[in-house]
């Protein structure tokens, strides 16, 4: 009953159920093409707080409460909460969940955090350590711009390769038993650094990590892109998505038909002035929870390869002129039977 | 074969072996009371780099290579590397391990990171997902002061309640089989926030999290402090240690005899001008790897409760006047048989 099927991939002997998913987003995300799919859309992305960081924590707190409610559970039912964000010392997460009395395992995977939470959570459940795990990831456009690029009031122009950090929180309840879409495999990424140093072109920095993950996944599972109804990366945007298609073609894999990216889906490029697309920890988290999860519940999607992607830079590393290492985590999710919440 | 013995504690059906441990520290740590126990002491805490952050990454890279060498393994043998640090976006870790081609699960637990790495690593091994896991944590005094308090060149005086961030990296190789000390249980902490806001008194901020963890551990395992040869918290220092002894006494537990703290052990209070003691992710990591691990190997210690403690603040949360939430993770380690590296 070995569960390891390759260097980076494990398959679960008994699939782990995604019992519920919830998404709470900011106003601009609510006005985008996926607006109708999100559970909650904040009228004010400040959430009534006096700082962007505290606002992000509100998104976390409200969405965590929502996903528990949707799962019909309370905090007492959950053995571990696994989550993270991109703010310094993950303060969006810490202050968002600090009043939840659940054993806490903090994660840092930058924008790949949702993939890391689902991967580790599924392993903890399949390993026999939990019945239920709460996993999530958050980000906030204003807090992220201030921290990684320029304070918004400066009005700095952004190049066309730049992405816009998604404001919101996405969260799932993973379960050992019950109905819902199932996590059947996870492929865990290595850090890949191809020497990109432009923090306004994160798609280019992260695309090689996504490609490395895809190649490992296909080689280890002896699958091809055509074995999936849809393959979705986290926040590569238009620039990174195109790079992945081109790089995978060179390796002999056709990604031109069923591959998309949460950063492309979440904003309307023409009308929302979002350049290369969406990004941030919440980009993949809310797009999965809001848009893809119901399609996995209904069977409209039968098998999905979900690959949140993360750029492991900091403002300090950017100032030092260092490269942008990246990582990607792959999660295979298959349509569940019966009701979904 | 249920492994859960309480809300926060799991026991391993088959103990997870700590196959090797390694510690690389800065000059001041090498001059302290534990100097003789560390594997490597840097002559220059800048490690030949031009920034403190890059220096921290050097400690990580060199110590990770060292622990692999001590375990007689290469990166190809390791299924997951689990580590983290306190710098913004964990850049000490990222740039320290980015050239290690091992699936990476980044952690954020502030100074509790070593406990989190050992806990999650042990669960991944016991769950059947890995033969070997590499875990570690790092910090650097100069980088931490700059980020969390004041740049060193300002020469700001520090109060007696302040601790000094330890410079270095501690790392372990966890293994499914073989000889060495054994992890038999882990107790995972919840976030505890008692409203402390003084970033120069981290011991007081973290002590309640340590107490919450200790109470959960003793109640769930039906053990007392006297069931351990030694109980060691991570970096509470003199202030936090005293608080734990007092708070636990009120709960009916005598912690006065066999309880110490890595922050107390690592520096000489009288001669090293370190006030309340050592702190930082590396404090518990290097003290465990350098000082306690060999005693567990030799049998001088038979059963240890190791509780790295973390203060989940950021410079931004401090500026906003927010409280300092804290977390602690408990790991039970029993003396192994045979040789240790």
pLDDT, averaged across chain B = 95
In whole angstroms, what is the distance from residue B225 CA to residue B218 CA? 8
Residue among A13, A15, A3 nearest A335 (CA): A15
Looking at per-residue pLDDT, the higher value among A156 and A60 belongs to A60
Check B316 against A103: CB less than 8 A apart: no
> Is residue B197 within 8 angstroms of chain A, CB to CB?
no
In whole angstroms, what is the distance from residue A28 CA to residue B194 CA? 36
Per-residue pLDDT reduced to its tens digit, A242-254: 999 999 999 999 9
> Is residue A206 within 8 angstroms of chain B, CB to CB?
no
> Is residue B107 within 8 angstroms of chain A, CB to CB?
yes
A314 CB neighbours in chain B (<8 A) are 87-89, 91
In whole angstroms, what is the distance from residue A240 CA to residue A200 CA? 12
The pLDDT-based confidence of A156 (bands split at 50, 70, 90) is: confident
Q: Tell me the nearest-neighbour CA distance from A44 into chain B, angstroms.
A: 20
Residue B152 · residue B142 · CB < 8 Å: yes
**Is the pLDDT confidence value at A119 over 60?**
yes
- Any idea what the Cα angle at residue A110 is, between residues B106 and A46, rounded to 5°? 135
A94 CB neighbours in chain B (<8 A) are 191, 312, 317, 325
| DSSP letters for B159-215 | -TT--EEPPEEEEEEEESSSSS-EEEEEEPPPPB------TT-HHHHHHHHHHHHHH
Q: Which of B1, B90, B129 sits opposite A10 (nearest CB)?
A: B129
In whole angstroms, what is the distance from residue A170 CA to residue A149 CA? 24
**Is the pLDDT confidence value at A152 over 90?**
no
Please give the C-alpha separations between residue A319 and each of A183, A316, B30, in angstroms, as whole numbers. Answer: 39, 5, 31
How far from the centroid of its chain's Cα atoms is residue A189's Cα? Answer: 14
Please give the C-alpha separations between residue A45 and each of A30, A42, A236, A332, B1, in angstroms, as whole numbers. Answer: 11, 6, 24, 32, 47
In whole angstroms, what is the distance from residue B112 CA to residue B285 CA? 9
Mean pLDDT value of segment A195-212:
94
Please give the C-alpha separations between residue B264 and each of A239, B268, B287, in angstroms, as whole numbers. Answer: 52, 8, 10
- Cβ contacts of A249-255, under 8 Å, gap ≥ 24: A251/A211, A251/A215, A253/A214, A253/A215, A253/A218, A253/A224, A253/A225, A254/A225, A254/A226, A255/A214, A255/A225, A255/A231
Q: Is B322 helix (H, G, I), strand (E, B) or coil?
A: coil
DSSP character at residue A290:
I
Give ipTM to 2 decimals: 0.97
Per-residue pLDDT reduced to its tens digit, B30-73: 999 999 999 999 999 999 999 999 999 999 999 999 999 999 99
- Cβ contacts of B198-201, under 8 Å, gap ≥ 24: B198/B161, B198/B324, B199/B148, B199/B149, B199/B313, B199/B318, B199/B324, B200/B149, B200/B158, B200/B159, B200/B161, B200/B162, B201/B159, B201/B161, B201/B162, B201/B239
Per-residue pLDDT reduced to its tens digit, A299-333: 999 999 999 999 999 999 999 999 999 999 999 99
| H-assigned helices in chain A | 27-30, 52-71, 91-97, 113-126, 141-148, 202-221, 237-250, 262-265, 269-272, 281-287, 293-298, 315-319
Give the pLDDT confidence score for residue B100 in this predicted structure: 97
| Burial (Cβ within 10 Å: 0-12, 13-18, ≥19) of residue B194 | middle
Per-residue pLDDT reduced to its tens digit, B2-36: 588 999 999 998 999 999 999 999 999 999 999 99
In whole angstroms, what is the distance from residue A135 CA to residue A254 CA? 32
Interface of B with A in 133-172 (CB under 8 A): 147
Check B79 against A4: CB less than 8 A apart: yes
Check A316 against B53: CB less than 8 A apart: yes
Per-residue pLDDT reduced to its tens digit, A126-150: 999 999 999 999 999 999 998 888 8
Interface of B with A in 310-329 (CB under 8 A): 312-317, 320, 322, 325, 327
Token pair listed for B328: 């602690």
Query: Which of these ranges, A335-339, B152-156, B301-305, has the smallest mean pLDDT?
Result: A335-339
Q: Which of B51, B106, B126 sits opposite A108 (nearest CB)?
A: B106
Q: Which residues pair with B40 in a beta bridge?
A: B24
Give the pLDDT confidence score for residue A233 in this predicted structure: 98
**Is the pLDDT confidence value at A160 over 70?**
yes
Token pair listed for B259: 């309880």
Check B89 against A1: CB less than 8 A apart: no
> Is residue A256 within 8 angstroms of chain B, CB to CB?
no
> Is residue A53 within 8 angstroms of chain B, CB to CB?
yes
Check A120 against B119: CB less than 8 A apart: no
Q: Which residues pair with B183 in a beta bridge?
A: B16, B333
Give the pLDDT confidence score for residue B19 in this predicted structure: 97
Residue A336 · residue A296 · CB < 8 Å: yes
Give the pLDDT confidence score for residue A339 in this predicted structure: 62
In whole angstroms, what is the distance from residue B189 CA to residue B43 CA? 36
Is the torsion defined by CA of B265, B267, B271, B277 positive or negative?
negative
For testing contact with chain B, the best of A93, A104, A140, A185 (most B CBs within 10 A): A104
Q: Which residue has the tokens 């697309």?
A: A277
Residue among A87, A287, A323 nearest A204 (CA): A323
| Burial (Cβ within 10 Å: 0-12, 13-18, ≥19) of residue A1 | exposed
Left (φ > 0), alpha (ψ -120 to 50) or beta: where does A273 sit? left
How crowded is the C-beta side of B35, counted as CA atoms within 13 Å?
14
Give the pLDDT confidence score for residue A2 in this predicted structure: 53
In whole angstroms, what is the distance from residue A105 CA to residue B312 CA? 12
For testing contact with chain A, the best of B76, B94, B110, B324 (most A CBs within 10 A): B94
Give the pLDDT confidence score for residue B2 in this predicted structure: 53
Check A128 against B129: CB less than 8 A apart: no
SS (H, E, C) B66-110: HHHHHHCCCHHHCCEEEEEECCHHHHHHHHHHCCCCCCEEEECCH
Burial B242-254 (b: 16+ CB within 10 A, else e): bbbbebbeeeebe
Residue B187 · residue B305 · CB < 8 Å: no
Percent of chain B surpassing pLDDT 90 = 91
Is the torsion defined by CA of A176, A181, A185, A190 positive or negative?
negative
Token pair listed for B183: 């992890």
Give the pLDDT confidence score for residue A338 in this predicted structure: 63
Token pair listed for B338: 């045979």
Of all residues in chain A, the one with the smallest CA distance to B143 is A316
Residue among A156, A147, A132 nearest A80 (CA): A132
B10 CB neighbours in chain A (<8 A) are 129
Query: Which of these ranges, A25-29, A113-117, A158-162, B240-244, has the smallest mean pLDDT?
Result: A158-162
């Amino acid at each position: 009953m070995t569960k390891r099927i390759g260097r980076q991939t494990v398959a679960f002997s008994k699939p782990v159920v995604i019992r519920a998913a919830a998404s709470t987003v900011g106003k601009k995300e609510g006005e985008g093409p996926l607006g109708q799919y999100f559970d909650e859309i904040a009228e004010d992305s400040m959430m009534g707080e006096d700082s962007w960081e505290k606002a992000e924590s509100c998104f976390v707190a409200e969405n965590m409460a929502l996903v528990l409610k949707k799962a019909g559970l309370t905090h007492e039912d959950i053995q571990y909460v696994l989550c993270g964000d991109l703010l310094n010392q993950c303060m969006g997460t810490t202050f968002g969940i600090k009043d939840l009395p659940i054993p806490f395992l903090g994660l840092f995977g930058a924008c790949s955090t949702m993939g890391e939470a689902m991967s580790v959570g599924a392993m903890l459940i399949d390993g026999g350590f939990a019945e239920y795990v709460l996993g999530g990831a958050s980000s906030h456009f204003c807090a992220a711009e201030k921290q990684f690029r320029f304070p918004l009031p400066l009005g700095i122009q952004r190049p066309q390769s730049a992405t816009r950090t998604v404001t919101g929180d996405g969260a799932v309840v993973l379960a050992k038993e019950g109905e819902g879409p199932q996590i059947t495999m996870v492929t865990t990424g290595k850090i890949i650094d191809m020497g990109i140093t432009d923090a306004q072109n994160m798609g280019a920095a992260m695309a090689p990590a996504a490609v490395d993950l895809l190649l490992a996944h296909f080689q280890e599972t002896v699958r091809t892109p055509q074995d999936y109804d849809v393959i979705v990366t986290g926040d590569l945007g238009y620039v990174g998505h195109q790079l992945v298609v081109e790089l995978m073609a060179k390796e002999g894999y056709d990604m031109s038909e069923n591959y998309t990216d949460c950063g492309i889906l979440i904003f309307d490029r023409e009308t929302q002035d979002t350049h290369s697309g969406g990004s941030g920890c919440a980009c993949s988290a809310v797009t999965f929870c809001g848009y893809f999860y119901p399609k996995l519940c209904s069977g409209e999607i039968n098998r999905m390869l979900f690959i949140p992607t993360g750029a492991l830079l900091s403002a300090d590393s950017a100032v030092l002129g260092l490269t942008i290492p990246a990582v990607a985590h792959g999660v295979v999710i298959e349509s569940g039977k019966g009701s979904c919440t």
